[in-house]
Amino acid sequence: MSELALAGRVVELVRSAAGPGAEAEVVVWHAAEALTRFANSAIHQNVADATTTVRLRLHLDGRTASGSTTRTDTDGLQALVERTVSAARLSPPDVSWPGLTPPTPLNPGEELDEATARATPQERAVRVRDFVAAAGGLETAGFCRTNYASAAFANTAGQAVEGRFAEAAMDGIGRFGGADGVARLASGRLADIDGAVLGARAAAKARAGGQPIELPPGRYEVVLEPDAVADILANLAMFGFNGKSFAQRQSFAELGAQQFDSAVTLLDDPIGGPGEPAPELPFDAEGTPRASLTLVADGTTVAITHDRSSAAEAGGVSTGHASPSSREWGPFGTHLRLAPGPAVPVSDAAVGPTAESSRALVASMRRGLLITDFWYTRVLDQKSLVITGLTRNGVWLVENGEVTAAVGNMRFTQSYPQALGPGAVLGIGGEAIMLPDRWSGVRHTAPAVHLSSWNLTGNASG
């Protein structure tokens, strides 16, 4: 039975159990995830699973409950409906129920790559083997992953849609003399993932990271490479442009205000583009079609991400950002893209520690730091989005446009919107890289950025 047929069947079971007045939405999600993980230059964990999950949200007589199950046989579906109906009847009134998505066509997107959807453990292992070999004897660690998902949505208002996507990613480090270097890439096509290229890049960074100096805390001019910028995008999405945070006055975002440097244009782009397979399903957990959404245009905040609940609270419309947990955690963008700056020709000479998209920015920095990656970033103050975290996978001192020394990892405490504020962005790299998520299925696309100031508040000594 297809996912769409299964979703329709659950809708019918709800009508039978709760009557025609029940409002129900059903998502049937089949996911085949596979991840080949390596450490100490050997594959040490190699996992796969194939799971179908049915999620039901039900609004009955003014009360709401939701449930999910991995049991898709008749008994399992019947049990899901019965316990969700029972839970709704026992629930307190839900005064903020936003209603169902009406029948709405999906936005067209690029088809998935079938080869990625059907990737084998051997294809992932080949990329690991190539990464390890290209690191030239350095200790390596990381993963190669492929995911395939097909899903359907149906509700009692008549919305019925289905879609599929596939993605691949590789993320690995090379280790040399106590220094780590990283290389990452995500794509809709496994064929785009070249383990040898990534392994060589990670190794070059690691080799350039030996014998780090320790710098005193303080404010530094910085070039942030795409991995670090992706962390900024993730936190802006989660806490700044989140419709629930916005509605609850916990966000810095002000619609129509010039809150960022005019060089900053930021989109959430979950449906891909010409020649680029969609990185996500074409609809959200409420059945709203996903679409590209400009959040910041030339430095001005112009949109917030909403599900139906936060949109109703804010007096707007859903932007297609509902998730199973968005009523609790808020709706946020999962595929942000910071628009790159103008492309600048760079030489193909020895790479050293600098990623290709960062080289022109580094060349223009008189004195500052080149930072590869951020780690363990946490919010200290949500309203101003002050974040503390650490650098990781390589920091270098840059003087007169040249890398002059490796630097030990440092702690920072920095407001992210302030760092990108008007006048603070000195340059944006010409190439945006799609980066794999660290944790939760989000994949942001980022170029390097050159910022006038970053507040480093600690070093290896404390």
Partner 1 sequence: MSGNHFDEACTAVQAALDTGARYADARVMLRRSESMSARDGDIEDMSSVESAGIGVRALVGSSWGFYAVPDLSDSAARAAGRRAAQIAAASAMVPGPAIDLVPTGAGEADWASPCEIDPLSVSQSTKGDLLVAATGAAKAAGADLAQGLLQVWDTQKWFASSDGHRIGQHIRECGGGVWASAFGDGEIQRRSWPSHRGQYGTRGWELVDGLALVENAPRMAEEARQLLTAPLCPSGETTLVLGDEQLALQIHESVGHAIELDRILGWEAAFAGTSWLDLDQLGTLRYGSDLMNITIDPTIPGALGSFGYDDEGTPAVKRDAVRNGRWVGVLAGRDSAAVAGLDYAGSVRADGWARLPMVRMTNVGLEPGPHTLDEIIAATDDGVFMDINRSWSIDDRRLNFQFGCEIGYEIKNGKRGRMLRNPTYTGIGPKFWQSMDMLSSEIVSWGTPNCGKGQPAQIGHTGHPAAPARFTNVRVGVRG
| Footprint of partner 1 on 79-138 (CB under 8 A) | 79-80, 83-84, 86-87, 90-96, 120-122, 124-126, 128-129, 132
44 vs 343: CA distance, rounded Å: 40
As a whole number of Å, the CA-based R_g of the chain is 23
Please give the C-alpha separations between residue 368 and each of 435, 454, 460, in angstroms, as whole numbers. Answer: 25, 10, 18
Task: Tell me the pairing of strands 218-224 and 367-381.
Answer: parallel
Residues 430-449 as x/- pattern, contact with partner 1 by CB under 8 A: --------xxx---------
363 to 382, contacts with partner 1 by CB under 8 A?
Answer: 375-382
C-alpha distances in angstroms, 164 versus 50, 137, 148, 398?
A: 15, 39, 8, 45
148 binds partner 1 (CB under 8 A): no
Using CB under 8 A, pick the residue from 98, 109, 163, 172 that binds partner 1.
172
**What is the torsional sign of CA 359, 336, 434, 174?**
positive
Say whether residue 249 binds partner 1 (CB under 8 A).
Answer: yes
Cβ 125 to partner 1, closest distance in Å?
A: 4
Kindly tell me which of 147 and 156 has the beta carbon lying closer to partner 1: 147
Q: Which residues contact 51 (CB under 8 A, 6 or more apart)?
A: 30, 31, 70
Binding partner 1 by CB under 8 A: which of 6, 26, 65, 138?
A: 65
The minimum distance between CB 394 and partner 1, in angstroms, equals 13
Size of the site for partner 1 (CB under 8 A): 100
Minimum CB separation of residue 106 from partner 1 in Å reads 26
Q: Where are the beta strands (DSSP E) in 156-261?
A: 160-176, 179-187, 218-224
Distance of closest approach, residue 105 Cβ to partner 1, in angstroms:
29
**Cβ atoms of residues 57 and 142 within 8 Å:** no
Residues 33-62 within binding reach of partner 1 (CB under 8 A): 33, 35-53
**According to the binding rule CB under 8 A, does residue 67 interact with partner 1?**
yes
> Among positive and negative, which fits the CA dihedral 304, 309, 314, 317?
positive
Selected from 105, 275, 345, 462, the binder of partner 1 by CB under 8 A is 462
Q: Does 23 bind partner 1 (CB under 8 A)?
A: no
403 binds partner 1 (CB under 8 A): no
Q: Smallest distance, Å, CB 143 to partner 1?
A: 5
Placement of tokens 């949500």 in the chain = 382
Task: Please report whether residue 386 would count as binding partner 1 according to CB under 8 A.
Answer: yes
Residue 116 or 382 with smaller CB distance to partner 1: 382
> 191 and 126 in contact (C-beta within 8 Å)?
no
List 61's β-bridge partners, or say none: none
The 295-334 contact track toward partner 1, x by CB under 8 A, reads -----------------------------xx-xx------
352 binds partner 1 (CB under 8 A): no
Residue with tokens 């609270």: 313
